[in-house]
Amino acid sequence: MPVGTHGAVRGVLPDELQTIGARMILANTYHLSLRPGAGTIARAGGLHRFMGWEGPILTDSGGYQVFSLSNFRKIDDEGVHFRSHLDGSEIFLTPESAIEIQEQLGADVAMILDQCPPYPATREEVASAVERTQHWARRCRDRAKRPDQALFGIVQGGIFPDLREESLAGLLPLGFEGMAIGGISVGEPRSLQRRVVEHLAPRLPSDTPRYLMGVGFPDDILDAVAAGIDLFDCVVPTRHGRNGSVFTRDGLINIRNATFAEDFRPFDENCPCTACTGFTRAYARHLILAGEMVGARLCTLHNLSFYLDLLAGSRRAIESGTFESFRRDFLDRFPRSPETPSARRKTETP
């Protein structure tokens, strides 16, 4: 799912998203509730009509902001007290209000409000977050009223396998329409991330979507697909694109580098996107260095197309029973991402 935090995937129009194969996008409850406001969007006819996107939309609940805006919030069992990063006003986000906002937005998939602990965190801190997320999950389920909106649970538990299993066990009786793995990409090394996903994914219900939140780079995604994950979101393709970092079959390239000044090839020879069929690396480099927004748009369009094509190829390979060879062939060319920890935001902020 391309990330459209504020109701738009940065630099890309809805019809362009459809052309490159996007089926679903993600928007953010917390940010849209601040600006322009859930009421405004509801009066416009809902988020689909407001932003001109006809496909499905998933809205994050604001739980990730409990992590990413830790300097602007206080948390207790009732909910989260935020001080707006826009104007300093106070916002009290509860499980009930998180659902109410998502119902006003008219999302197809809503997420429960959860507590996402950072890495590293003590076992006691993570256990507390698991308990609070379970309490909030029940309140979200009790408040949800829209029959046309699926509600997904979120499994927490940090890097502790038993806490992950405890969190999942507490969520299963609530009968969610999908289950997500949260608390990933919050600073942990990739080896720990993979270990958590490989342990937990096969334990998620197999008859509903399995969603890995905020991940990631292409190799991360293929590892997670191999473990059984169905659904992903991440700002990596759009954020990297705006900064001139471009994904190719042979790895990530920085189009700003002088080596591309007279490189008249497309970003990727086999990519059918507009950026690759009509323009060159040299041209994109010129635009990025000149500060022309078209350069960022071309890089972003290509990166999203690259990701969507990777997932489409994965689906075809799964259907034909050749996924492992598909994955191996891709990773033989595409270098593994660094092991070093990094917290990769799930929202597009300036």
Determine the 3-state secondary structure of 239 from DSSP.
helix
- Specify the amino acid at residue 48: H
State the Cα–Cα distance between residues 313 and 327, nearest whole angstrom.
10
What stretches of 172-210 show up as alpha helix (H) in DSSP?
Answer: 190-200
Query: Could you tell me where the beta strands, DSSP code E, fall in 77-230?
Result: 79-83, 90-93, 109-111, 150-155, 178-181, 210-212
Catalogue the active-site residues. Answer: 60, 233
Q: What is the pTM of this model?
A: 0.95
Asked whether the beta carbons of 309 and 153 are under 8 A apart, the reply is no
Nearest to 305 by CA among 222, 249, 228: 249
Residue with tokens 């809205």: 59
Nearest to 216 by CA among 344, 339, 62: 344
The conformation of residue 186, written as its DSSP 8-state character, comes to: B
pLDDT per residue of the chain (350 residues) written in tens, 0 to 9:
999 999 999 999 999 999 999 999 999 999 999 999 999 999 999 999 999 999 999 999 988 887 888 888 999 999 999 999 899 999 999 999 999 999 999 999 999 999 999 999 999 999 999 999 999 999 999 999 999 999 999 999 999 999 999 999 999 999 999 999 999 999 999 999 999 999 999 999 999 999 999 999 999 999 999 999 999 999 999 999 999 999 999 999 999 999 999 999 999 999 999 999 999 999 999 999 999 999 999 999 999 999 999 999 999 999 999 999 999 999 999 999 888 755 455 577 64
Domain borders along the chain are 239-333
- Any idea what the Cα angle at residue 3 is, between residues 39 and 68, rounded to 5°? 80
Question: What's the token pair of residue 329?
Answer: 């062939």
The conformation of residue 343, written as its DSSP 8-state character, comes to: B
